[in-house]
Amino acid sequence: MFDTHCHLNSEVFENKVVSTIQNARVSGVESILVPGTDLHNSKIAIQIANDFSNVFAAVGLHPTEDLESMDFDETVFKLEELVKYNEDVQAVGEVGLDYYRYKSPPRIQKLFFIEQIKIAVKFNKALIIHNRHSSEDVVKILDKHFNSALKFKAVFHSIEADGQLLKFAENNGVFIGVAGDVTYDLVKESFIKNIPLDLIVLETDSPYQTPEPTRRIVRYPNEPKNLLDIAKKVAEIKNISLEKVIKTTNRNAVKLFAINNQ
């Protein structure tokens, strides 16, 4: 299995990365993508990817960071440098808009989101898109800046149950990230039921969104080893075999991140 979104660079995994990856591999998670949310933990993501086989990095500036306090040109330059000079960077992300819990106004979030879309296109990297209570503006920006080079090289991370996002995904070849909330959120479960399996990738969003049944015992931190519970739920929702879910979503993830050695 391929965990396409796992924050191993989170402080909660400090000094536990080795054991966390080992536990994940025992449970069948062979590959992991570690996203960045600021310059600092983007560098940590790169270091983790350097240290472990089949672990890959993404670098990006999350919309809930204090973007307004950053020097825009300098920060974008440093982000480009991370993409340009590190071969383990497979994607730009996670990036996007967040109108629920944020430090910077939408105007600033949009500037950084647009610029990071351009970086992904410029360096032929995948794009990991975050959205929270901002679907309309996310789609407006993507309508204008989504490049054909991003077809099947972008993903709506832990997608909200939003019809306009799904429509954009189906029309433009954007993958759908399915996380642990599908195991306990009936709205999300119903939403995922109608998404073609060929557009789905699996993610734990560790250390967040712990899936059932682990969630009943320990809600935090979630670990990549729990990806199997998400795969099982998708198989149940779609009434197909677990093997088909794992095979198809793994193939989708490899395609998304343009990985050649899987």
Q: Is residue 251 part of a domain?
A: yes
| Alpha-carbon gap, residue 136 to 132, rounded angstroms | 10
Residue with tokens 């191993």: 8
pLDDT confidence band for 241 (50 / 70 / 90): very high
**Count of domains for the chain:** 1
Tens of pLDDT, residue by residue over 1-54, are 999 999 999 999 999 999 999 999 999 999 999 999 999 999 999 999 999 999
Q: Is residue 140 part of a domain?
A: yes
Q: Is residue 212 part of a domain?
A: yes
Q: Is residue 262 part of a domain?
A: no
CB atoms within 10 A of CB 260: 6
Q: Is residue 37 part of a domain?
A: yes
pTM score: 0.97
The answer to whether 64 touches 97, Cβ cutoff 8 Å, is no
**Segment 204-228 mean pLDDT:** 97
The answer to whether 120 touches 92, Cβ cutoff 8 Å, is yes
**122: helix, strand or coil:** helix
The answer to whether 219 touches 24, Cβ cutoff 8 Å, is no
Mean pLDDT of the chain: 97
pLDDT at position 260: 81
Residue with tokens 């080795």: 18
CATH number of the domain encompassing residue 251: 3.20.20.140
Q: Is residue 244 part of a domain?
A: yes
pLDDT at position 101: 85
Residues 6 or more apart in contact with residue 152 via CB below 8 angstroms: 173, 174, 175, 255, 256
Question: Which residue type occupies 21?
Answer: I
The answer to whether 171 touches 145, Cβ cutoff 8 Å, is no
Host domain of residue 72? 2-257
Pairing of strands 154-156, 126-132: parallel
pLDDT confidence band for 261 (50 / 70 / 90): low
Tens of pLDDT, residue by residue over 164-183, are 999 999 999 999 999 999 99
pLDDT at position 80: 98
Q: Provide long-range contacts, Cβ within 8 A and 24+ apart, for 65-70.
A: 65/37, 65/38, 65/103, 65/104, 66/103, 66/104, 67/103, 67/104, 67/108, 67/109, 67/111, 67/112, 68/103, 68/104, 68/105, 68/108
